[in-house]
Amino acid sequence: MEAVATPKPKDAYRNYDAPARDTVREFYRLNHTHQTHDFAVAKKAEYLRFDRREMTWWEALDYLNTLVDDSDPDIALPQVDHLLQTAEAMRADGQPDWMVLTGFIHDLGKVLCLFGEPQWAVVGDTFPTGCPYSPKVVYSEFFAANPDMQRREFQTGTGVYSEGCGLSNVHMSWGHDEYLYHLTKDYLPQPAQYMIRFHSFYAWHREGAYAYLQDDTDRAMLPWVQKFNPYDLYSKNPDRPKLADLKPYYEDLMAKYLPATIKF
Ligand code: FE
Ligand code: FE
């Protein structure tokens, strides 16, 4: 995939044993300690009322430009650069325009930070809550400090879920994936919805864990999530794209699929 410029070899990304940024380990300690099932359910109830503020997509993007993601071992550039790098790599490969748009907006749920959420409640890999933790989740040793570890109903069998219930019925750890999915699901095709909702669920789309939760739709959509991933991951590089040059193209693309403003 030539268009996905790689300034370092692929196995040098997502290196959690010797992360280049030392905030990463502490991030996952906090994330795995505090993201309980009750927390995920409560945050959904709170945020899916969409009663915070109405913004244009560009206002949300402008805010994201000030945020650096503590969970990311690979990049310390502003988020808009990451969104443009992801989308431009897709565009260069001739991917469909709805996928380019998905690449461009996929991390916009990080505006949760704007509403005062700590990074451990916004970013990082996600995992299902209310069922046994998989050792395939990054830094899974930190789950030892999660209060859900003491709840038998969560840690036995398939937890609060039935086998094959489908990921749409699973309460994932709360963060930018789930939030943006609910903000955009009425406007984008189903593969795009899956890319947005599960792009941080590496234990599933990369490691094959939690397969017992999948239904037929999840199995059909998994290849799309996997197709999305290299653009999200391997397009990260220190060269900053020129927003001013690219803005007209992305303005048109957003206008084609999305309403002008969105209620966050
Ligand atoms: Fe993300
Ligand atoms: Fe991303």
What does the pLDDT look like over 84-122, one tens digit per residue?
A: 999 999 999 999 999 999 999 999 999 999 899 999 999
* Host domain of residue 112: 21-263
Ligand 1: distance of its center to the CA of 177 in Å? 7
Summarize the confidence of residues 12-16 as an average pLDDT. 73
Ligand 2: distance of its center to the CA of 50 in Å? 23
- Tell whether 253 is covered by a domain: yes
Contacts of 81 (CB under 8 A, 6+ apart): 240, 241
- Tell whether 15 is covered by a domain: no
How many angstroms separate the CA atoms of 130 and 159, rounded?
6
pLDDT at position 5, please?
45
CB 106 within 8 Å of CB 48: no
Strand partners, 263: 54
- Tell whether 5 is covered by a domain: no
pLDDT at position 136, please?
98
Neighbours of 165 (CB within 10 A): 16
- Tell whether 13 is covered by a domain: no
- Tell whether 94 is covered by a domain: yes
How many domains does the chain divide into? 1
- Tell whether 189 is covered by a domain: yes
CA angle, residues 201, 205, 5, in degrees to nearest 5: 95
Closest listed residue to residue 90, CA positions, set 202, 199, 234: 234
Summarize the confidence of residues 171-188 as an average pLDDT. 98
Q: Which two tokens stand for residue 155?
A: 């840690």
- Tell whether 12 is covered by a domain: no
- Tell whether 8 is covered by a domain: no
Ligand 2: distance of its center to the CA of 80 in Å? 10
Ligand 2: distance of its center to the CA of 154 in Å? 30
